[in-house]
């Protein structure tokens, strides 16, 4: 250990890889906060307990971390000072971490109400969140170019897992409207929370719609539709065997399952007797036109019969009539 830096020695005492990564980032933030260059300089840091409390506040204001995340970063720094025999007495000086409980499970009608009353920025973000069940740290990094591409791979920041994501035509169109209007959505988690929180308040929702709920709703819908665990785990960046992940990430194998989930969660409801898709509108208009053509010709709508006579389709009848 003679050739190791103080930070390397400290981190070598931590067994869990994920914890070492978290503590490394915490120390990076703390050195940035104190303006010091390396861990060795912390041996003579004046009033370390006060500085850690200030560090907690700095993390929320400067790095936009939550209270829980900020406390976790401070715990890492407390661990370092214990390692260099300068234990800190922080009990009751920092807030207790709290467990987040999902006390509100929004219905499809709730989502549709928020969407209907939201502005174009809210609509674009909700549509993107419906399409991509990603964590907020991954979502805010998505570019307009990626959205318009319709499909691409991303590396999830937390799980370090590569996943395939897709965007619907509805989402692409909303982001085109944003660009044409010279508008943009917030690029930070806190900014997104404020925007969606305001939209939820306007629509009378009891709670704010946080990003994790989109992932939860995506998984729940996938299970309800009978989609296999291997597939939905791949779609939400969960760890699966490499051989299975490689298979599903090739080509468009995942897209039919993704479409099945997304199309079953429309943000714009269908009204009774009305439709909201262009294809459905065309089909409805065609049926009405053919009915009028038959009435003009004095014909009746064909019955099923024995199937010996091949009946013309509505499209063929309309096309033939227009050529006359």
Cα–Cα dist 76/29, whole Å: 11
Residue 122 has pLDDT above 60, yes or no: yes
62 half-sphere exposure, CB direction, 13 A CA radius: 11
Q: How far is the C-alpha of 192 from the C-alpha of 246, rounded, in Å? A: 33
Name the residue among 196, 171, 175 with its Cα closest to residue 267: 171
- Architecture label for domain 108-263: Orthogonal Bundle (1.10)
Classify domain 6-83 by CATH architecture. Answer: Orthogonal Bundle (1.10)
Angle of CA points 110, 114, 119, to nearest 5°: 170
* pLDDT at position 4: 82
- Residue 308 predicted with pLDDT over 50: no
- 168-189 CB burial, b ≥16 within 10 A, e <16: bebbbebbeebeeeeeebeeeb
The predicted model gives 287-310 an average pLDDT of: 57
Do the beta carbons of residue 316 and residue 288 sit within 8 Å? no
| Closest among 249, 256, 262 to 152, alpha carbons compared | 249
**Among 43, 99, 102, CA closest to 71:** 99
C-alpha atoms less than 13 angstroms from C-alpha of 105 in its C-beta half-sphere: 4
The reported pLDDT for the residue numbered 321 is 65
Top pLDDT among 129 and 234 is at: 129
Phi, psi of 196 (to 5 degrees): -70, -35
User: 74-83, 187-196, 243-252, 274-283: which has the minimum mean pLDDT?
Assistant: 274-283
| Distance, first Cα to last Cα, the chain | 92
pLDDT tens per residue across span 25-61:
999 999 999 999 999 999 999 999 999 999 999 999 9
Lowest mean pLDDT among 85-89, 211-215, 318-322: 318-322
Q: Is it the case that residue 98 has pLDDT exceeding 70?
A: no
Q: Where are the domains of the chain?
A: 6-83, 108-263, 278-323
Using the predicted structure, report yes or no on whether residue 311 has a pLDDT greater than 50. Answer: yes
Please give the Cα distance from 93 to 114 (Å, whole number).
39
Q: At what angle do helices 120-131 and 108-117 cross, to 10 degrees?
A: 150
Residues 6+ apart with CB under 8 A from 136: 189, 192, 211
The three-class DSSP label of residue 133 is coil
The DSSP-derived string for 71-118 is: HHHHHHHHHHHHHTT-----TTTSPPP----------HHHHHHHHHHS
Query: What pLDDT does 198 receive?
Result: 93
* Statement: the pTM of the whole predicted model exceeds 0.75: no
């Amino acid at each position: 250990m003679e050739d190791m830096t103080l930070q390397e020695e400290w981190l070598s005492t931590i067994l869990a890889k994920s914890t070492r990564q978290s503590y490394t980032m915490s120390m990076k933030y703390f050195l940035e906060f104190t303006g010091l260059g390396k861990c060795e300089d912390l041996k003579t840091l004046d009033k370390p307990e006060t500085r850690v409390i200030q560090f907690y506040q700095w993390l929320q204001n400067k790095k936009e971390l939550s209270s829980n995340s900020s406390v976790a970063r401070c715990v890492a720094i407390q661990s370092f000072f214990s390692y260099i025999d300068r234990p800190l007495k922080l009990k009751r000086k920092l807030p207790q971490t709290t467990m987040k409980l999902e006390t509100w499970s929004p219905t499809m009608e709730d989502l549709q109400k928020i969407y209907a009353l939201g502005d174009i920025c809210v609509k674009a973000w909700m549509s993107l969140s419906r399409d991509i069940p990603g964590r907020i740290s991954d979502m805010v990094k998505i570019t307009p170019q990626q959205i318009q591409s319709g499909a691409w791979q991303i590396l999830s920041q937390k799980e370090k897992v590569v996943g395939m994501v897709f965007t619907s035509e509805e989402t692409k169109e909303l982001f085109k409207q944003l660009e044409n209007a010279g508008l943009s959505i917030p690029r930070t988690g806190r900014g997104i929370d404020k925007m969606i929180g305001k939209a939820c308040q306007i629509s009378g929702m009891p709670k704010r719609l946080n990003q994790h709920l989109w992932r939860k709703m995506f998984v729940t819908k996938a299970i309800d539709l009978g989609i296999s665990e291997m597939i939905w785990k791949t779609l939400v960046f969960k760890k699966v065997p490499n051989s299975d992940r490689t298979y599903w990430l090739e080509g468009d194998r995942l897209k039919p399952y993704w479409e099945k989930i997304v199309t079953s969660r429309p943000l714009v409801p269908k009204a009774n007797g009305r439709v909201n898709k262009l294809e459905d509108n065309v089909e409805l208009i065609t049926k009405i036109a053919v009915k009028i053509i038959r009435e003009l010709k004095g014909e009746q709508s064909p019955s099923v019969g024995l199937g010996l006579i091949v009946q013309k389709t509505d499209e063929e009848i309309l096309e033939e009539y227009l050529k006359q």
